Amino acid sequence: MRDQAENLRMKMLKNQGSLGRSIAVVSGKGGVGKSNFTTNFAINLAKLGKRVVVLDMDIGMGNVHILIGKTAQFSLKDYLAGEVTLNEVMYDGPNNLQYISGGSGLSSVMEWSKQMFDLLIQAFEELQKSFDYILFDMGAGAANWSLDLLTSIDEIIVISTAEPTSITDAYSMMKYIHMRDQGKAFYLLCNRAYTKEEGQETLDRLKNTMVKFLAKDVTLLGSLPEDPVVRNAVREQVPFSIAYPEAPISKTLKVIVNNFIHHDIEEVHADTNTNTFLSKLRRIFSKGRG
């Protein structure tokens, strides 16, 4: 598999100037809003006129199509099994976004064969010629096949929340990837931050840990707030950046995406209402534990 990963890396680097930008979105644990971020990040890119495709790599348990209110007859798993073509697993999403579903429902653990990896290489080669951005919504955690795959992708966006376990798992994920590819570029985002300060503290903690223990610098994208519109959007099966464009989370993500595509990275945090009941309760509870 490692040889296959290196082969994929070389093919993706060839003629880099004319190929799409490949970005993987990862997290150390589930429940941090990774798929929601990926979907809305992609929608914002597409709004700016970029050709974008999202690959739901959580094979058998994917939910990108659910978040945008679509159904997918075929999934990436069907393509890798050689049952359908790449075009047959690509579907239209909002703002001319394209996506490939990972599938949903209970699924057996997928064993990656050489044939599957070869098909993946073929797919990536085709997608890089047709799209400006290829976003990989990776499953939570680290498996050998996903780590091999991540070494061949240009950039990694790491999603964490302020929870200590999420921070620890995000660091572990970056460490696993870094040990395989020390030149990999990491971008950090704190999701579901209750305050701007909480987001900054979370990112600073991760950044300092990476520098201290791995001598690796990372880029901080900023933080997205805990926003009730996200739950509403999931229930309505309409991405929050479309259903609630004026919400704090939507406005903040728009700025983050704009900075990202212009390589003008400046840490962006949403203004949050620190006087809300939940925020007050959270601060009191934190002081009590201190």
**pLDDT over 60 (residue 108):** no
Q: Are 57 and 138 in contact (CB under 8 A)?
A: yes
Q: What is the C-alpha R_g of the chain?
A: 19
Determine which of 34-38, 77-81, 94-98, 215-219 has the lowest per-residue pLDDT on average. Answer: 77-81
pLDDT (average), residues 14-39: 84
Residue 35 burial by Cβ neighbours in a 10 Å radius (0-12, 13-18, 19+): buried
The pLDDT of residue 184? 94
Secondary structure (DSSP) of 79-138: HHTTSS-TGGGEEE-GGG-EEE----S--PPPPPPHHHHHHHHHHHHHHHHH-SEEEEEP
pLDDT at 281 over 80: no
Residue labelled with tokens 């950039």: 155
pLDDT score of 8: 58
Which runs of E-coded beta strand occur in 1-101? 21-26, 52-56, 90-92, 98-100
Percent above pLDDT 90 for the chain? 61
Show the CA angle centred on residue 249, arms to residues 245 and 250, nearest 5°: 25
Of the two residues 144 and 223, the one the predictor is more confident about is 223
What's the predicted TM-score (pTM) here? 0.87
